[in-house]
Structure 1
Amino acid sequence: MSLQALWSVPLTYPAQILNALALLMALAGSWLLLATQRRRSQFKLRLVQGNFQEALMLAARHRVDGFFTRFGALSLALAVTLSWVSTGL
């Protein structure tokens, strides 16, 4: 397949390309939110079990968890926006 034929595919179907990009962003954002939620539940479980030293080490990651939550939500919002924009193409 020549380079010109390869370049004509995204030009012919721009809505499908944007929808594929939105799907990839939604998958990444949802995985990030699920992983962060799992890490927070492990922290709560360790606190209940009485492993305070391990819980203190995980408490240092609280800021990182907040960043991951915001980034995951932002990527999901961007995926919805891209999908919405692609309907107009």
Structure 2
Amino acid sequence: MSLQALWSLVVAYPQQSINTLALLFGLAGGWLLIATRLREQRAMARLVAESELETVEGDAPAMDEPTRRLNQFFNRFGYACLSLALAVSWFSTRV
């Protein structure tokens, strides 16, 4: 599809184009949150398998600091993407 034909679709249907952008942000944010959650679960399973539950009862083995900070960043970025998707979708109803 040529760029001119694609642009004509954007001009003809602006609300749908903006909603498509919101959907893209929503999918990216949701995927990032799911992938981060799986990362956290795998890291905890690896820590438990390595330590063989030598911790005191009630204490879970802690992740190392860089992994925890990276997961925290990905969670924040994922929620920011979902918030942006909500804002863009809301904006598309006002156009």
TM-score by length of 1: 0.80
Give the Cα–Cα distance (whole angstroms) in 2 for the partners of residues 2 and 77 of structure 1: 32
Give the corresponding residue for 1:61: 67
Kindly report structure 1 stretches of 4+ aligned residues shifted beyond 4 Å.
1-6
Deviations 1:23-53 (A, max 9, x none): 111111101000110111112212222x15x
Give the Cα–Cα distance (whole angstroms) in 2 for the partners of residues 42 and 69 of structure 1: 16
Give the corresponding residue for 1:31: 31
Larger relative helix fraction: 1
Give the Cα–Cα distance (whole angstroms) in 1 for the partners of residues 9 and 67 of structure 2: 44
Deviations 1:60-79 (A, max 9, x none): 32111111110000000000
Give the Cα–Cα distance (whole angstroms) in 2 for the partners of residues 70 and 8 of structure 1: 36
- Give the gaps of 5 or more residues in structure 2: 52-60
Could you tell me which of 56, 63, 81 is aligned with 1:75?
Answer: 81
Give the corresponding residue for 2:18: 18
Q: Cα offset for 1:4?
A: 5.3
TM-score by length of 2: 0.76
Identity %: 48
Give the Cα–Cα distance (whole angstroms) in 1 for the partners of residues 11 and 82 of structure 2: 25
- Give the gaps of 5 or more residues in structure 1: none
Give the Cα–Cα distance (whole angstroms) in 2 for the partners of residues 18 and 36 of structure 1: 27
Deviates more, 1:61-70 or 1:2-11: 2-11
